[in-house]
Homo-oligomer: A and B are copies of this chain.
Amino acid sequence: MELGPPGGSGPAEPGPRLRGLRGADAAASASSLSRFGAEAGCRASAVAAVLPAGGSGERMGVPTPKQFCPILERPLISYTLQALERVSWIKDIIVAVTRENMETMKGIIQRYQHKRISLVEAGVTRHRSIFNGLKALAEDQPNCRLSKPEVVIIHDAVRPFVEEDVLLKVVTAAQEHGASGAIRPLVSTVISPSADSCLDHSLERARYRASEMPQAFLFDVIYDAYQQCSDYDLEFGTECLHLALKYSHIKAKLVEGSPDLWKVTYKRDLYAAESIIKERISQKVCVVMDTKEDEEHVGHCLEEMLKTELNVMTSDFEETQRLLNMVEESNLSILYPVVVISVHFLDYESVPLGQKMEKVMQIREFAKEAKKRNILLSGLLIYFPQVENNRGLEEQKLRESLRQGTTIISALIKERNSGLIGQLLVA
């Protein structure tokens, strides 16, 4: 069974986890994060984050604004909120959304149980949205509902893979320098066109960087800058670091970010994000073994073969039902579709296929119910041949079936396609 929570990197899992989860580096990753957190907690007594999410997503070529585009049926912005939420030292997260998306956003917060979120109305430009977010945190505003933080992080709703370590780096640098932002090497050469669309000059790629998110500022530095800046800045500008430089005379400290910071901009980025999320949530699996005595050997062989890649539940139907309930109670399937595979061993020679099939077809009904709870249930039959007087052949045939079983399980976990639920696959 696959249990959803991704690795240390990427959108992580708040909330309870099933006991018995086997994860390679979950513990190590958790301890390094809390060390970071403690450090930051000492030095930054209050950190808030502002997330402008008022964009229309015109570059995506789809009618839905990109921050609301679904990935595994959950809106992109929910992954970004999850990434910020799991950082315990970010006290408040302010999201700026347009009036027409306010209800959608409230629905997302409720459905995916996001915490520490406040909503403000987005402005018509990115800068105006950020300014609205800052006003909600500023003490000089009549409708200020939150307490003013020492440092404010500005991030994008469409960068879901932000890590705690880069957040900590920009916050720490902002405390020291007043402003800080993540940067990345340029992928393409940047050129300046003349008025007639001819090449005027090209920039030396190594001397420039792409300015990415997150950025962090001493609250007063960036709020002062926004209060001073012109309508032209608010309408046509995009770069907060530039405002801090121009109006507060602060030269931001630049921090090298990881490739994960990229912004979901085009449709292909949605594809990439989905693949990354699928890959990450496929790293953790759980085995529930409850095999009968004579199948025990087979079960252990399968577990052995899967060990390098993933593990699998073997179980009878009552056990499957109990497990489904457990997954549901744990809230694991709220954030990600959980794959459950019910594995059955079948001695091809001694049990008529039809008979076994009829019984196992029950899985279709189970699967329909489970789908409503975001659990993708399938069945897998593994041949367990008994070849009399030829233990070697028996073992060989068994290993072949198990190998195929492993391939099928990998495919189901990797693709996570709800179109294939309730099927009984045969290895």
Contact = CB atoms under 8 A, between A and B. Distances in A.
Interface of A: 59, 61, 177, 179, 181, 183-184, 186-194, 197-203, 205-212, 236, 238-239, 241-242, 245, 251-255, 259, 262-263, 265-269, 271-276, 352-355, 357-358, 361, 364, 407-408, 410-411, 414-415, 417, 419-420, 423-426
B268 A259 contact: yes
Given A207-B192, A212-B188, A238-B205, A419 B411 contact: yes
Contact of A251 (B59, B199, B273): B199
Given A262-B266, A272-B275, A354-B357, 9 more contacts: A59-B259, A188-B263, A198-B253, A199-B242, A202-B245, A268-B275, A271-B275, A408-B420, A410-B419
Contacts of A251: 194, 198-200
A191 B205 contact: no
B252 A198 contact: yes
Contact of A189 (B177, B210, B262, B425): B210
Residue picked from A61, A200, A266, A271, most chain B C-beta under 10 Å? A271
A190 B188 contact: no
A241 B420 contact: no
Contacts of A411: 415, 417, 419-420
A211 to B, nearest CB: 4
Contacts of A239: 189, 191, 202, 205
Contacts of A193: 183, 209, 254
Contact of A354 (B187, B352, B417): B352
10 contacts: A61-B259, A181-B199, A188-B211, A190-B210, A192-B208, A192-B209, A198-B253, A205-B239, A268-B272, A408-B420
Contacts of A252: 198-199
A298 B82 CA distance: 47
A220 to B, nearest CB: 18
A186 B197 contact: no
B199 A254 contact: yes
Contact of A408 (B241, B266, B274, B419): B419
Contacts of A211: 188-191, 202
Contacts of A192: 207-209
A353 B266 CA distance: 48
Contacts of A197: 253-255
A212 B184 CA distance: 18
A375 B84 CA distance: 44
Contacts of A207: 192
Nearest to A420: B411
A72 to B, nearest CB: 13
Contacts of A206: 236
Contacts of A200: 251
Given A199-B254, A275-B274, A426-B423, A209 B183 contact: no
Contacts of A419: 407-408, 410-411
A219 to B, nearest CB: 19
A397 to B, nearest CB: 14
Nearest to A364: B426
